[in-house]
Amino acid sequence: MEVKDIIKDENLVYSRPKLLTDKITHYCPGCSHGVVHKLLAEVIEEMGIQEKTIGVSPVGCAVFAYNYIDIDWHEAAHGRAPAVATGISRVNPDKVVFTYQGDGDLASIGTAEIMHAANRGENIVVVFINNAIYGMTGGQMAPTTQMAPTTLLGQVTATTPCGRDLARNGYPLKITELIGQLPGTAYVTRQSVHTPAAVRKCRKALKKSFENAIAKKGTSFVEVVSTCSSGWRLSPVDANKWMEENMFPFYPVGDIKDAEKAGAELFMQQNLKNC
Ligand SMILES: Cc1ncc(C[n+]2csc(CCOP(=O)(O)OP(=O)(O)O)c2C)c(N)n1
Ligand SMILES: [Mg+2]
């Protein structure tokens, strides 16, 4: 059998989303960012919303996300993506606006922005990539003024060579659970992308979040518990294993809040009338 006999439409099991550009990413082998980029491209393409979707990219390893997914993007200063997304979404209520943020960006430097945007019920999707460290800058837990709150107790990082210490560094913060408490959120979930099944579930969560944004239901929040093999100083395979053994017990995967399923009244800031 020749290749031309195999490459036929009826044999196609996968095609690369057209929204992914041809640019080779700068991500390290085993990094979760690339998988989540692919899922975003797939979901946006499948929903046919590429012309009206605007991403707000962070400071961190995903700072160049605009090079990889062919939609409109806006860059934000470190931690400020939810504030920038608020402005874009309010001025353009018919656009679908999402932020893409790391844990240093969202849970440390930008804690105020995300809490208030979610509490206001801004009609945005938040994609939160939690690899428990500052990946881009070399795998730090970070200096005290910018404590990476997601680093696990005992976790060895570039700045905690003996492991994160409770007395010195305090507890890690489950910011997603806090966000799930806020009335402005429609859907809050924690996912991962380390197995094909997990990838499928994460894709579903992202799609549901974009559907919520189109239906103007308030804030949808998708945390993706992620690996950083370079920052963790592990091979990609060992990083997945480390994540399963250490991250999942503290950051359990699954839905945290689904307002619609719970029958809760959706907080719809978009319905406010001008007076
Ligand atoms: C106000 C400010 N402080 C610090 C930095 C330096 N800095 C750049 S990326 C980064 C860490 C980003 O970590 P995270 O958001 O977790 O993303 P990751 O790279 O892990 O995906 C830091 C501290 C900066 N650019 N701006
Ligand atoms: Mg990080």
Q: What is the pLDDT along the chain (275 residues), one digit of tens a residue?
A: 788 888 888 888 888 999 999 999 999 999 999 999 999 999 999 999 999 999 999 999 999 999 999 999 999 999 999 999 999 999 999 999 999 999 999 999 999 999 999 999 999 999 999 999 999 999 988 654 556 689 999 999 999 999 999 998 889 999 999 999 999 999 999 999 999 999 999 999 999 999 999 999 999 999 999 999 999 999 999 999 999 999 999 999 999 999 988 776 666 555 555 66
CA of 111 to the centre of ligand 2 (A): 14
Number of domains in the chain: 1
What residue owns the CA closest to ligand 1's atom 1? Answer: 78
Within 10 A of 217 (CB to CB), how many other CB atoms are there?
21
For position 260, which CATH number holds?
3.40.50.970
Q: What is the pTM of this model?
A: 0.94
72-75 and 185-192 strand pairing: unpaired
* C-alpha separations of 83 from 21, 67, 258 in Å: 27, 22, 23
**14 CA from centroid of ligand 1 (Å):** 34
Query: Directed axis angle between helix 81-91 and helix 111-120, to 10°?
Result: 30
| Nearest ligand 1 atom to alpha carbon 59 | 9
| 46 token code pair | 């499948």
User: In angstroms, rounded to a whole number, what is the distance separating the alpha carbons of residues 84 and 263?
Assistant: 30
Ligand 2 centroid to Cα of residue 11, in Å, is: 39
From its phi and psi, is residue 254 left (phi > 0), alpha (psi between -120 and 50) or beta?
Answer: left
For residue 102, give the ligand 1 atom closest to its CA: 15
For residue 69, what pLDDT is reported? 98
List Cβ neighbours of 243 (8 Å cut-off, separation of 6 or more): 192, 194, 225, 226, 227
SS3 content of the chain, % helix, strand, coil (to 5): 40, 20, 40
Instruction: Name the pairing type of β-strands 254-258 and 185-192.
Output: antiparallel
pLDDT at 19: 97
How high is the pLDDT of residue 145? 53
User: For ligand 1, is residue 135 a contact (CB within 6 Å)?
Assistant: yes
Instruction: Kindly compute the dihedral angle of the four CA atoms of residues 137, 140, 145, 149, in this order, to the nearest 10 degrees.
Output: 120
**Most ligand 1 atoms within 8 A of CB, residue of 109, 133, 159 to mutate:** 109
Q: For residue 269, what pLDDT is reported?
A: 53
Ligand 2: centre distance to CA 80 (Å): 15
pLDDT (0 to 100) of residue 116: 98
Helix (H) or strand (E) holding 67: none
Write the single-letter amino acid at 249.
P
Widest distance between CA atoms in the chain: 71
DSSP state at residue 146: G
Containing structural domain, residue 31:
3-271
C-beta of 267 in contact with ligand 1 (< 6 A)? no
Question: Quick one: pLDDT at residue 1?
Answer: 79
| CA–CA gap between residue 53 and residue 89 (Å, rounded) | 10
269 C-beta closer than 6 A to ligand 1: no
SS3 88: helix
d(CA 183, CA 123): 13
The answer, yes or no, to whether any atom of ligand 1 lies below 6 A from the CB of 61, is yes
